[in-house]
Structure 1
Amino acid sequence: MRRIEVGGAQPYAVTVGAGLLDTLDVPERQVALIHPGDLPRPFVERVQAALSPVVTVSVPARDACKTLEVMAGVLSRLAQVNLPRDGAVVGLGGGAATDLAGFVAASYLRGVAFYTLPTTLLGMVDAAVGGKTGVNLPEGKNLVGAFWPPRAVWCDTDTLGTLPPEVFREGAAEAFKHGLISDPGLLPRVLAPEFRPAGALLTETIADAIAVKAGVVTRDLTERGERAFLNFGHTLAHALEGVTHQTVPHGEAVGYGMHYAARVSRALGGADLTPDTLAFLRWQQPSPLPALTYDDVAPYMARDKKADSDGVRFVLLHELAHPYLTRVPDDVLRREFDGWRNDISQLG
């Protein structure tokens, strides 16, 4: 078992290990539990037994739950049971469900306590840590939300054994990204055979990936500086999700987006890390993308959260573990998109 401390104005701990769903410590007496409808029922029942929630709300799976309409329904349910200001919201499930639950907690009665129990690899190494909550709009990913740190995060690695292999590999994208931007030792470990549910490298690799994000958000909760580096690969990733109406899973989109960012980094004089990103894509085996042009994705990239009044900014790498944020000429983005498209067409 590992415990990672997240500092800042509202510090909390992230605990990683097996069997944690049975040992939860939530001091609030009245709790609302939010989970996706496709979550294995035993996980829901274990949390219900540990917390005795006053209400349990099932929401659609994956990004289908991250809408203002779903959020409004959850808020109404909390109001119907009169969840008090000193109550708490607990998010159980993947990253989409915990994003929604966190935004519900931030919004209900102008903010109640929030706890998160991620059950996917993607949720553990990314969504559950850092206090970013929110929902999507048709115009783009995570355009509505709030910074609302949890009181605690429990990552029960037993839940990962129920994931289809492709969903586990999808979640590994964020751990690999943390290796590219900060901890190169993660790169071979993510691709190792021992990094799998119940594998010898599972707990320590997850914890070390979380530690990268914990350090960044401790220093920069609201993305005024280095937290933007956590978005390496995400500018194209969010565009791929948007243009395909969320049919491309987030982790697979990030895998594709990291390779594009590596190509753009190389084009601007950075080290050539494209062999690393291609190695990850071969390991991840993402679903093939539809035929897309640069003009298809460019409007979505223009709405990226890192954009400001002067245009789109990209997180790139001078070299391994040395990220930076910059604007990129459109002709470079277009040329590298064509090269990226050619690369991924050869993945097989």
Structure 2
Amino acid sequence: MSRLAERWLEAAYTGQAWLKALRPLEWLYRRVVQHRARAYGAGRRDTWRAPVPVIVVGNITLGGTGKSPLVAWLARYLSESGWSPGILSRGYGGRAAGYPLRLTPRTPVAESGDEPRMLADQTGCPVVVDPRRPRGGQCLLEAGCDILISDDGLQHLALERDLELLVVDGQRGLGNGRCLPAGPLRESVERLHQVDAVLVTGELQQGLPVASHGMQLTPIAWRSLTEGMPQPLLPLPFSGTVNALAGIGRPARFFATLDELGVDYVPHAFADHHRFTPADLAFGDQRSLVMTAKDAVKCRELTRDAWSLDVEAHPDPAFVDWLAARLARL
């Protein structure tokens, strides 16, 4: 992310006054989004209804919210409940030769994108990447899936859905409450009233206009990039000061987790979905390297003395009960 983009995103979440100059463009953006939604609702754009239930997990804000850990939790929960889930992704950052792309253990992350590779590794479920969600969904049906999870699919209206789960970062919330480019919202705040459930990652720092469920992201293990085996959180599997790398939507969350674990580190933040090169990891010292699981799938071939931190989502029990009741009616 460029310095200018970082300044803009910080301004959007802190509500700085100079963004008022962008409100005419926000009005235009909102009109475009509303027109598109109405076109799908009125049948002027084609949609596809899968013959199995579809659950969409997404957000309306830019920057990380904890969406991917929730997708992984949901896939595992559905598998344990007797379903055969498949995960559908846009595959941001990946460049495949053709679509749909069904991931195998040998699929390069450069083709799939980082999040699909991570989700496939963490869940063992079929994962398909396709910019056209209905086509990707059909591929998952051919793989034997009886329920589909659309990752970051809230704005992909061509795929009809049975449940919409919206994730909000508790600390940053909805920022200044304005849509792009005058704020961080992809859609207006009213969208929160239309989804089936809102989950808040961490402690909610500002009010929301709808009821919500809590969700915690809990570190569970360290994992060596070379050996791939999980290690306990404590004692730390490395010593001294480390270089901490984060190329995710909200690097500050990862660094805060390291603080909680008592890790002494030098932070290195990169843009979300950054394509790492060996030069990015050459910090000119002999320190060990720690990173997120999402970054690890791109750095396995680039470094040896490195550890990733496994994190799991834990929605509150009330949400789990609500989800079980809704699934029983699908």
TM-score over 0.5 for the pair:
no
Give the TM-score of the pair, scaled to structure 1: 0.24
